[in-house]
Structure 1
Amino acid sequence: MKLNMNRREFLAAFGTIAASAVLAGCGGKASTSSDAASGADASASSDDKSASATKKLIVGFDSAYPPYGYVGDDGSYTGFDLELAQEVGKRCDWDVQLEPIDWDAKDTLMNSGAINCIWNGFTIEGREDDYTFSEPYMLNAQVVVVKKGSGISDLAGLAGKAVITQTDSAAYDVLAGEDAAQADVAATFASLETIGDYNTAFMQLETGAVDAVACDLSIAAYQLAAKPDAYEQLSEQLSSEHYAVGFKKGDEASATQVTDTLKAMDKDGFVKDLCDKYADQGMDYANWCLA
């Protein structure tokens, strides 16, 4: 996604989003901000389907997006973000419902109340006007992965090559025109294709159906950890960005509760332990940015 500021500037900007106090069940402080107050008023409405109002967090996620959300060996949904969501629910006394979704349908599902948050390696940049976000919790980047021995060593080497990425992804937005410099790079490709999930994209890369996959750094790290002899990542990044939890526009109360609870989880070591659990899938605590 677009990023013309460094990490400190980005976090300073988000600092202006008032971190209103944790509501009952998430620390016990009383809220004083007008945003939180309006959120409380909304919670009283019978048609408010937010997590803070219903005490139910309905998480929309892509079930083929490891290590953030995917189907585990036992057939159940698992992943770094899903475990974060479940722990937040536990600490806030919220029920947590995990809903695998068609990524293209996420806005329709959010607006209908079928889900009340998107928690799945969800990029903030470029979506600020469409959702109310928690504070950012993870640094990320957009990168390109190629087959080992392909002879492609940099972005310039992608000229005349077939590149694939996920539909409606941060990587697609960058290459399709959101970043002028990278759009110029994409103009040299033989094709820029999209597909429903990254697992299938990497299968196409492995079989030679495409020459490269543009994806999140975390996805690349996961795939390289799984098949270190099959792939390599280009050193040049397409962009850098941040992940946060997305809520329906105006749902400040839920966003604040999640932010404050994540901070508490980091402070007591839960986040570090969870990053270590997923380290073999490319997760790195050094990229956690919420303090």
Structure 2
Amino acid sequence: MKKLLALLMALVLCATVFAGCAAKEESSSQSGSQSQSDSSSASTPAGGEKTDFIVGLDVSFPPMGFMSEDNEIVGFDIDMARAVAEKLGLELKLQPIEWSAKDMELNNGNIDCIWNGMTITEERQENMLLLRPYMANNQFIVVAKDSAIKTKSDLAGKIVAVQTDSSGEEALNDDPIKDEVAEVVSMADYVSALNDLKIGRIDAVVIDEVVARYYVEKEPDNFTIIEESLKKEQYAVGFKKGNTEFAQKVQDAFDELVEDGTAAEISSKWFGKDIVLK
């Protein structure tokens, strides 16, 4: 009888322990679910409204967007994007990207748009939703100040650098002179290309006019421009295909900045005159 009673008490004790563990596990699971729910609701604004404007850019593309000596991202496009964000009541977030990965960054939703002196090309028109052109540009050739290269035809037999996946690369590929150059070097950014030009590792760089003039003005003893355009083009802001509603809000805000004179002021700050397309 004593053995039977002890066995019954042991069974009751085990049942109590298991019940307690199950209740604790259920409580922990509910707490974890609640925690995840709270975290999710904290990261999502009430009503699902957008609160930020994430702009993707190459931070070595002055004067459109680049790192200042104070390690801050500045430039014409930055000032315009900030003014647009203020009009829309959004927080501007600047996201540096590899230029060759811009389509992936855009399509993956890591950024809202590419706003960085981006040239309108047929391929980009097919792959992106582009806003109205806002600035004209040329693809020029920059050489060392003491270079013997004076015209485009002088590139024959020379080493020429381009930025990877840039309109400058496309312009060179479309020009007959491409078949005469000794080598085309594809580089990640213009800063690296111009540094290589300065030390004589390459002979020329195909580069956007706005960037070329910025560097020539900054370092007149090192660089000069061949005033012979490889290609005329225009800049536009690019959004992911289908993001029509938000893209239109940005376009409307940009147009307001043109109308009220803000765009002209920002342009004069960076270029000394108003070069924004109306």
Amino acid at match of 1:155: K
Aligned to 2:100: 104
2:84 maps to which of 88, 101, 108: 88
Give deviations 1:5-47, integer Å, cap 9, x for gaps: xxxxxxxxxxxxxxxxxxxxxxxxxxxxxxxxxxxxxxxxxxx
2:151 to 154, 160, 171: 154
Q: TM-score, normalised by structure 1?
A: 0.76
Residue 54 (str. 1) matches residue 50 (str. 2) = yes
Corresponding pairs, count? 230
The correspondence of residues 84-233 of structure 1 with structure 2, limited to 5 A, is 84-126=80-122, 127-176=124-173, 179=174, 182=175, 184-233=176-225
Relative to its length, the structure with more helix (as a share) is 2
Task: Report the structure number with the largest CA radius of gyration.
Answer: 2
Q: State TM-score, norm by structure 2.
A: 0.79
Are 1:66 and 2:62 matched, yes or no?
yes
Partner Cα distance (1:284, 1:70) in 2 = 20
Q: 2:247 aligns with which of 219, 241, 255?
A: 255
Aligned residue identity for 1:134: L
| Unmatched segments (≥5 aa) in structure 1 | 1-51
Separation of aligned partners in 2, 1:66 and 1:235: 19
> What is the RMSD computed on CA atoms of the aligned residues?
1.5
Amino acid at match of 1:77: I
Deviation at 1:56, TM superposition (A): 2.2
Deviation, structure 1 residue 268: 1.4
Q: Percent identity?
A: 36
Q: How far has the Cα of 1:231 moved from its partner?
A: 1.3
The answer for the alignment partner of 1:75 in structure 2 is: 71
The answer to whether the Cα contact below 8 Å between 1:245 and 1:255 also exists between their aligned partners in 2 is: no
Tell me, what secondary structure is at the counterpart of 1:214?
strand
- Measured at CA, do residues 284 and 123 of structure 1 come closer, stay the same or move farther in structure 2, by a change above 3 Å? farther
CA distance in 2, matches of 1:112, 1:151: 46
